Amino acid sequence: MTDQTKDRVYIFDTTLRDGEQSPGATMTHDEKLEIAELLEDMGVDIIEAGFPIASEGDFKAVAEIAERSKESVICGLARAQLPDIDRCWEAVKRAPRPRIHTFIGTSPLHRAIPDLTQDEMAERIFETVTHARNLCDNVQWSPMDATRTEFDYLCRVIEIAIKAGATTINIPDTVGYTAPRESANLIRRLIETVPGADEVIFSTHCHNDLGMATANSLAAVEAGARQIECTINGLGERAGNTALEEVVMALRTRGDIMPFDTEIDTRKIMQISRRVSTVSGFPVQFNKAIVGKNAFAHESGIHQDGMLKNAETFEIMRPEDVGLAGTSLPLGKHSGRAALRAKLKELGTEVGDNQLKDIFVRFKDLADRKKEVYDEDILALVTAAMTDGADHLEIVSLKVTCGTGGPAEATLEMEVGGEEMSATEHGDGPVDATFKAVRALYPNKARLQLYQVHAVTEGTDAQATVSVRLEEDGKIATGQSADTDTVYASAKAYVNALNRLHVRRSKTGTDQKEISYKDIG
């Protein structure tokens, strides 16, 4: 703690659990390990690594994250059922600092799902929390949909959980229903009312359905909560969760009115934000607080003039504080490998020598085709380099013709399992024709859920970043690619997603989420 007069607030990151529950945000095993390492390096106190009983893939990821961890508490989620809790403990027990997080829905709507009376649910809470505490001395308990639970009953079950051995009581606003004043009042009243409340840490877990997740979390902290559950980029179901970067920077920037400290290294924020966006396939909106492309951009003449005279006129945070460079190092076709490495470091991205070699080749090729290479172009190259690899499907060449005279035609040469094949297909536009050519060479039942194109920078020579999300037999895979040729980027993104499905198909069920919402409780 840097300031002994400030209270410590613990950061509980659930990007790998609640964040990954966003439709289409499923991450591979290696991606989960990478994100967990970045979270720990950034100083996250508790990492909720997954839901071990949901699938064999989730269990293996949580177990390996636990084994690799050093400082962070590694937490697994478990329903209020003994097999769930046993499976969770089996996954996290090798962590130096393990935690079991068990929950049950306590509101009238959620009690109706397992058809339990208030007394029956109270008995189950005592039994399951006691069981968890007998396995692990660090137990978190959550009354799901707490903000819509009768206050008297909420007090009763929290008291039971504390007596059973819970060390952290988390109060979830599961559907983003509450508002800041109400959030603060609820935490304050619970701490004042529940016997034993002064012996545990109260936590807040807010969703963003009404756009108030960050405000609700900060209000809860002011009322006595000392743990915030959040995700990188606010990733999460429906409208998402409280964004880690928002609450951390709010506490840091407004310490004058919120005297609380976290131990997050905020200089790592941009790096992990970009990586989570890449592996999840969820682009960060341009005007997103803290990590959006425009968060530190100034176009208005008045703003620019003020910034040139004194940056504090229009910036309440320094870009450097979140991992952005304060100055720009322009790159072009004459730039060398050392300059590229320096630029990547400046952008908060560290790569190995082999990766740098690959990115440098792509950079030189791009610099020959573009007048200016922007920071966003460099980051897109990094994404492409990390996405590509020795895959089952590899594009060799693509030729597309289109116009107003008739249907578009795509001629595609592609390696399928090492064998080079070609096909020519027609379609309603160049992308449609290209995707048909891919399917002709690699027949599949994958359904296109999302096709999204973003211009990385300005101008007619801008790179396009394409995201493709596919669904096949309940499995979801996302592919991304970037190129100045939008059609080629589309083909690469489509093939990347198919490669991911191919891997998952060969490891049947590894990453499939087997537990639905209706199974909870």
Our separate counts of H helices and E strands in the chain read 16, 16
**215 residue type, one letter:** A
User: Is position 205 annotated in a ligand binding site?
Assistant: yes
User: Which residue from 470, 469, 467, 472 is spatially nearest to 490, judged by alpha carbons?
Assistant: 467
Burial (0-12, 13-18, 19+ Cβ within 10 Å), 334: exposed
Pairing of strands 73-79, 46-50: parallel
CB atoms near residue 76 (< 10 Å)? 33
Q: Is 241 annotated as a binding residue?
A: yes
b/e per residue, 348-360, with b = 16+ CB within 10 A? bbebeeeebebbb
Contact 226, 214 (CB under 8 A): no
Cross-strand pairs, 128: none
Q: Which residues contact 338 (CB under 8 A, 6 or more apart)?
A: none
Q: Residues with Cβ < 8 Å from 252, sequence gap 6 or more?
A: 262, 266, 317, 321
| Beta-carbon count within 10 A of 287 CB | 10
Amino acid identity at 10: Y
Q: For 118-142, give the secondary structure using H, E and C.
A: HHHHHHHHHHHHHHHHHHCCCEEEE
DSSP H or E segment with residue 110: helix 108-111
Distance CA 100, CA 226 (A): 18
Pair of tokens at residue 329: 């190092």
DSSP SS3 for 157: helix
* Integer Rg of the chain from CA: 25
Is 454 annotated among the ligand-binding residues? no
- 207 annotated as belonging to a binding site for a ligand: yes
Two structure tokens written together for 476: 């979801």
Pair 386, 378: CB distance under 8 Å: no
State the binding site for Mn(2+).
18, 205, 207, 241
State the binding site.
18, 205, 207, 241
